[in-house]
Structure 1
């Protein structure tokens, strides 16, 4: 291969953008080359063929097949391009199914269902000739002010790792490569601002931010990783070999490709100022371990070629990346692909897609409070009020095609059936007279609709008020990439609307449709308290129907908070995994206690968790079984999320006051009970010691099971004995394979991971 042919394999090209600019710098970058000239020596990747503007999938597939044939026929080496697309909430293409956002996956705590979703997404992508998906996001939530919280799964790294790995397995089972992002530390940005510096020590990086990626690499076999935009302690990740090579490849054995986040190579020059020009930026990134520049080759193209020819960079570094790229293409079957016939028809939103989207949405709705008004019991008059009540866009995250791309094409129909919450309530309550009033917008100060909303509330038996976010990007919306906030109050005048409705005396059910948790403690208690409150994190195309079914009682709520519900922005960043000094105490007047804790969620029945049992001792490096009995003590069937927590009482470094060791969803009929066994390797309690190595220390560990991290309903103690254990690669695989076995009515049931 010539140098030009090698470098051609290391870049993408964002073809056919038209006038759309869906990301900062996109227009500038895409116009810097002409596509025909850029592919003379071949091409590494095609960027977002389906996901840049609304195109008919079948017509676009025909174009793509022809283009792949051209690359095979007209370039000397005849190597097709790898095609990548966004797929965080489903394939980001016109007419493709839109699933709940990842924060809703976290609320559902159902890895099996997430894996099934990943499989369906991968099947759609593969059918359209797409080979790599830019998902999942494995950033651990630290600060809900950050706009990209709606792309994240949870504030617990174990939950992020389990669900993210499930998604990877599903997607890759179809022959589509998953891309883990954003490696690493991105979500710890200063003050919750996008692209801001990260101030995290090596222990926090190792014990909080790295584990989800390690799980997805070791257990999920992820084939691609995307770098973080962040700088950590002054060192941009895109130019830091310690992360992209030392940890990822040398320690974990990752042998796939590392792709740059969009424009992050150029950012080494323009935003981090650690490179004098694009050529030096390319060299820093390539030497650090980035193999492919996305979305275009503005640094890895001509600037890098000039640097190699000038003798400033050994061509062997280029060869290393080229070998990885060609290996990936071989794995995907591209080197032998014939591109015979493009699809002549395809259903990107089939009944199977809809069924999984509906179930995941139902499982993700979190009932925060309820004075008995829910489930609704045949109301005659229902007022459905609020800016998100009759909006399809309010159900979708920022990386959905509707909010990400169609926002630039208001003349184009959605291409999907997305019933709003209001429309779904009309269908769910056929005997009720449903009045729909907007009341106010998501943003702005306009209160002109308050009077109509109050009038509708006074005339109703029950009021459903839907508030929250409108997802978008870079200032277009209230949450999403680049939409960071200083306050965690509901945007605009939405709080005032809710308070005015409560003041009418009508029973008010608050539904928050959002991409981040808001400080709504005022709605949970006190004079402005609503009768019931439910949180839905952008539940996708079937979200309206799912919420309506939960409110009516057709579906019993089973979601749990994957992130603490904040009391104020001033307490951020916050995580339930804090040490003693991270919680409330008598030597500060600032209380960081959240309004509701991680793991909280109500149901329409009640559960008792009893008799937690565990062996008295376990060797450091070994494993133990924790057994608990769960009973449905209520009047109807329901699903409990059984949560096992631990506290390492004393450590050589400070330890969190609570840590989730395992979880499983258990469905029980009224009066039924189940026995749950958690098989827990002590490596689940490993941490980075004083010498920088991950260890399991001997000592006392408190265990408990309860309805959240904050409630100890049944408790036990286990003593870790023996010598200090240094964690090995085998331990890391073991900790990622914690199995939960369920036995109901004394009969063995299938195990869940």
Structure 2
């Protein structure tokens, strides 16, 4: 083939793409709009419901790639694949695709990467809910950069992460995949993940645009019934923050919102995402989401109608394979149901992204770098990041008895279903819990001690199961109580086993009918408390649980949200005192009853009230977390204190000092409340939450600059506004533990903030 302008790397990308598209046939363009799901070696069992129902006929590979191919789906993450074998397979398939098409355009390879690359023998990091508990965007960015570098070495180009849905109902199984219940926290941490992943040359894909986490009754893929203000002010801001961080792709929400499936909604995928927010990357379908328009939503008569609806809405790429964007889309084109200009619109975005990734360059090599340097994926740097993030995400919820930190020589009875299983430390999108469960006897692929083993390196330990995550026997509960009675302290590790669609108690498709501990675990906890031995409860889970009946009798409570491969060592460090706990809750723990899931973002009528017998107050609130040693906070100051312009800034100053002989880490949380507004506003809403590390004896001054944009909200006419009037600001250790309160008048005319508003506070730390 002669040299063409689209191969010239000195030309602007737009010019290269236009040249290539002018040479392509319609069939070659359409081939760029779908993927192929190919497995190496053994075909796994059905990972998800509807997977096999929606699968097309068996792939005729030579015919499929004859006109090119847009994507390849999960070559490493569909079955246990040795990394070296996977890299060879990637290279072989890319060569075949290059050789088959007229233009030799490689395919984008995508994988899941929510808790690290979801591939056998790749490192397994803490879940996103643990990222939120760390309140440490810099550390999350470093983790994502390492994940991205690993993916790039293996010839992968796109990662389906992060999830920037805001948790709305703790019963929803995918709470563990969210970063928390506050949009500022979710957006700050999510944007950090995007920066890290894309710094390695991997396309970050935001999930699930938009509203997925607000499904009715916390049921996965259930309808969503929310107002436009909840969408705009709670669910959308994290996507805005992550898009500004440079995310190159967005994946649609499966559900319908007020009866309209998002996959067929141009008002969301085009008018909002592209026209209003200015996104110019690719929109990829969640797996089978386009076919679901026919089979689950009933808004298309066949796959041709589904393809037409999704394309008009703004979905550029069908994943995981070709169900609707192949023959059915061509059928819709022939029938005149789809404008060919929409094909060009999608393909231009796809080819631009391939150009940015270097896939259209003449020097592209199909061989992943890993083939030249097949070093261990789970390297020392990964272990260091995983340990640090696990340590900083563990939340000490209660410690009134002085049992923690455990004294040297303390005889421990370690009890519970989470204590002896290394895979209990992993989230549902880790390879062992996502794919490995379909391969009995498969090794985890990474070295991961169980919690009982990690504690056993520092203390004399006996272990008793008590009960599994679900079910169990009276005899096992009695045996655990006997073990506890013979010990100085009982450590009970209770909570969840992550999985998908019934293979766990937390995770995608593993929704909860209520927030009581699963199975017989609460019964086990009561039996342990009845022994009189001090009980330290470790909640190892994907969501908070209701502990109000036991909390006053527990010696201490710690919480960790699936902390990954270094989680056991991190937890042992916290319980022993070697690590000073510093995590904060990204979601509140529910209070008594647990039948009314709520978040801290409630307006006044959503709080405790004399007009209802149900108290939604949390047992442990958003932002809560204790430490063995914490910073001293000096008097906070506000400048200016006499007025905050509706288009201006204000500064909060907080002196911090570490009086201890060990490092401390504190999270200074700044909340706001608009007591008189055009619409009902939350009683507390987070504006900033910087984490500050202080060496022994060190003093620093924290300056937080807040722009008035951070107080903007959607008014009655649907426009985002900043209004004059008094504003309450709170410098706090949690959403309920206020250190200093200010009341400042916001002065000036009402102002529309719009989509260009400031989304982040300014953070300065002075010596």
Distance in 2 (alpha carbons) for counterparts of 1:262 and 1:569: 36
Structure 2 counterpart SS, 1:338: coil
- Tell me the residue number matched to 2:9: none
Distance in 1 (alpha carbons) for counterparts of 2:629 and 2:46: 49
Partner deviation per Cα, 1:517-538 (whole Å, 9 max, x = no partner): 111122322xxx2100100000
Contact 1:89 1:99 in 2 (8 A): yes
Contact 1:609 1:706 in 2 (8 A): no
Offset, 1:399 = 0.3
Structure 2 counterpart SS, 1:212: helix
Contact 1:609 1:705 in 2 (8 A): no
Q: 1:433 aligns with which of 436, 455, 460?
A: 460
Change (3 A) 1:455 1:665: same
Distance in 1 (alpha carbons) for counterparts of 2:655 and 2:415: 42
- Tell me the residue number matched to 1:751: none
Q: 2:603 aligns with which of 548, 569, 579?
A: 579
Partner deviation per Cα, 1:279-315 (whole Å, 9 max, x = no partner): 1011110000000011111111111111101222111
Larger CA deviation: 141-150 vs 703-712: 703-712
Contact 1:610 1:630 in 2 (8 A): yes
Change (3 A) 1:48 1:455: same
Contact 1:418 1:541 in 2 (8 A): yes
User: Is 2:619 aligned against 1:595?
Assistant: yes
Change (3 A) 1:619 1:304: same
- Tell me the residue number matched to 1:34: 59
Q: 2:733 aligns with which of 679, 698, 707?
A: 707
User: Is 2:34 aligned against 1:11?
Assistant: yes
- Tell me the residue number matched to 1:188: 214
Offset, 1:635 = 6.8
- Tell me the residue number matched to 1:23: 48
Distance in 1 (alpha carbons) for counterparts of 2:174 and 2:593: 16
Q: 2:397 aligns with which of 355, 368, 372?
A: 368
Contact 1:15 1:35 in 2 (8 A): no
Larger CA deviation: 378-387 vs 231-240: 378-387
- Tell me the residue number matched to 1:59: 85
Distance in 2 (alpha carbons) for counterparts of 1:272 and 1:497: 42
User: Is 2:667 aligned against 1:641?
Assistant: yes
- Tell me the residue number matched to 2:453: 423
Distance in 1 (alpha carbons) for counterparts of 2:76 and 2:596: 38
- Tell me the residue number matched to 2:307: 282
Change (3 A) 1:31 1:273: closer
User: Is 2:575 aligned against 1:548?
Assistant: no
Equivalent residues in 2 for 1:604-753, closer than 5 Å: 604-614=628-638, 615=640, 616-632=642-658, 636-669=662-695, 672-731=698-757, 734-736=758-760, 738-743=761-766, 747=767
Distance in 2 (alpha carbons) for counterparts of 1:671 and 1:523: 38
Partner deviation per Cα, 1:104-163 (whole Å, 9 max, x = no partner): 000000000000000000000000000000000000001010000000001000100000
Change (3 A) 1:311 1:356: same
Larger CA deviation: 493-502 vs 394-403: 493-502
TM-score normalised by L of structure 1: 0.95
- Tell me the residue number matched to 1:532: 556
Distance in 2 (alpha carbons) for counterparts of 1:670 and 1:124: 36
Offset, 1:667 = 2.3
Offset, 1:690 = 1.1
Distance in 1 (alpha carbons) for counterparts of 2:46 and 2:733: 46
Contact 1:161 1:211 in 2 (8 A): yes
Distance in 1 (alpha carbons) for counterparts of 2:566 and 2:369: 30
Distance in 2 (alpha carbons) for counterparts of 1:379 and 1:31: 61
Offset, 1:507 = 1.1
Partner deviation per Cα, 1:624-660 (whole Å, 9 max, x = no partner): 1111223446675421111111111210111110011
Distance in 2 (alpha carbons) for counterparts of 1:456 and 1:663: 42
Larger CA deviation: 551-560 vs 63-72: 63-72
- Tell me the residue number matched to 1:178: 204
Q: Please, which runs of 5 or more residues in structure 1 have no aligned partner?
A: 748-753
- Tell me the residue number matched to 2:254: 229
Offset, 1:672 = 4.6
Change (3 A) 1:380 1:628: closer
Distance in 2 (alpha carbons) for counterparts of 1:97 and 1:127: 14
User: Is 2:128 aligned against 1:102?
Assistant: yes
Distance in 2 (alpha carbons) for counterparts of 1:601 and 1:19: 41
Q: Please, which runs of 5 or more residues in structure 2 have no aligned partner?
A: 1-23
Runs of 4+ in 1 over 6 A off after TM superposition: none
Contact 1:45 1:81 in 2 (8 A): yes
Q: 1:350 aligns with which of 379, 383, 389?
A: 379
Q: 1:397 aligns with which of 402, 424, 427?
A: 427
Distance in 2 (alpha carbons) for counterparts of 1:664 and 1:473: 34
- Tell me the residue number matched to 2:521: 494
Distance in 1 (alpha carbons) for counterparts of 2:747 and 2:586: 32
Contact 1:487 1:569 in 2 (8 A): no
Distance in 1 (alpha carbons) for counterparts of 2:663 and 2:507: 36
Offset, 1:569 = 6.3
Offset, 1:568 = 5.1
Contact 2:712 2:721 in 1 (8 A): yes
Partner deviation per Cα, 1:299-346 (whole Å, 9 max, x = no partner): 111111111012221111111101111111111111121325653313
- Tell me the residue number matched to 1:485: 512
Distance in 2 (alpha carbons) for counterparts of 1:343 and 1:729: 42
- Tell me the residue number matched to 2:275: 250
- Tell me the residue number matched to 2:158: 132
Partner deviation per Cα, 1:196-215 (whole Å, 9 max, x = no partner): 11111001100000000011
Change (3 A) 1:450 1:570: closer
TM-score normalised by L of structure 2: 0.94
Distance in 2 (alpha carbons) for counterparts of 1:637 and 1:40: 61
Contact 2:87 2:367 in 1 (8 A): no
Distance in 2 (alpha carbons) for counterparts of 1:229 and 1:380: 50
Contact 2:154 2:368 in 1 (8 A): no
Offset, 1:77 = 2.2
Distance in 2 (alpha carbons) for counterparts of 1:600 and 1:719: 29
Structure 1 counterpart SS, 2:397: strand
- Tell me the residue number matched to 1:308: 333
Distance in 2 (alpha carbons) for counterparts of 1:420 and 1:455: 22
Contact 1:612 1:716 in 2 (8 A): no
Offset, 1:30 = 3.7
- Tell me the residue number matched to 2:107: 81
- Tell me the residue number matched to 1:382: 412
Larger CA deviation: 174-183 vs 70-79: 70-79
Offset, 1:500 = 1.0
